[in-house]
Amino acid sequence: DSGVTQTPKHLITATGQRVTLRCSPRSGDLSVYWYQQSLDQGLQFLIQYYNGEERAKGNILERFSAQQFPDLHSELNLSSLELGDSALYFCASSVGSGDRGIVTDTQYFGPGTRLTVL
């Protein structure tokens, strides 16, 4: 167990719908990262938050958004869902800020949310 929790474990929904995935980082971790894992694209970075602020964006669609709350949990919102959004969504957490000059922090992954869009 990594200490990172994600809910729900499974989510089945229809095209055009909107869903929210939730992540709670390890105790003491300030950074949360979201990744999408699909069969054809592998593991891809979506977005990072540090202490409530967006820090970096990767291959995240405009239909997707995220936020990190004062208690440091994070939510990933996926809207206007398409069949191709079906994937495993992982969040990972690490201690630090990502500021340059600071040793890179190890990222620990949560169990993931499996999203199926029908």
Partner 1 sequence: GENVEQHPSTLSVQEGDSAVIKCTYSDSASNYFPWYKQELGKRPQLIIDIRSNVGEKKDQRIAVTLNKTAKHFSLHITETQPEDSAVYFCAASPSGAGSYQLTFGKGTKLSVIP
How many other CB atoms sit within 10 Å of the CB of residue 55?
Answer: 16
Alpha carbon distance 68, 104 (integer Å):
21
Q: Which is nearer to partner 1, 16 or 105 (CB)?
A: 105
3-state secondary structure (DSSP) of residue 26: coil
Restricted to residues 37-96, the positions that interact with partner 1 (CB under 8 A) are: 42-45, 48, 50, 55-56, 58, 90, 94, 96
**2 contacts partner 1 (rule: CB under 8 A):** yes
**109 contacts partner 1 (rule: CB under 8 A):** yes
Which of residues 30, 112, 115, 117 is near partner 1 by CB under 8 A? Answer: 112
At 48, list the tokens: 């990072």
3-state secondary structure (DSSP) of residue 102: coil
Restricted to residues 9-28, the positions that interact with partner 1 (CB under 8 A) are: none
Alpha carbon distance 25, 23 (integer Å):
6
Smallest distance from partner 1 to CB 3, Å: 11
At 22, list the tokens: 């939730």
Smallest distance from partner 1 to CB 48, Å: 5
CA 88 from centre of chain:
10
Residues that bind partner 1 (CB under 8 A): 2, 31, 33, 35, 42-45, 48, 50, 55-56, 58, 90, 94, 96-100, 103-112, 114
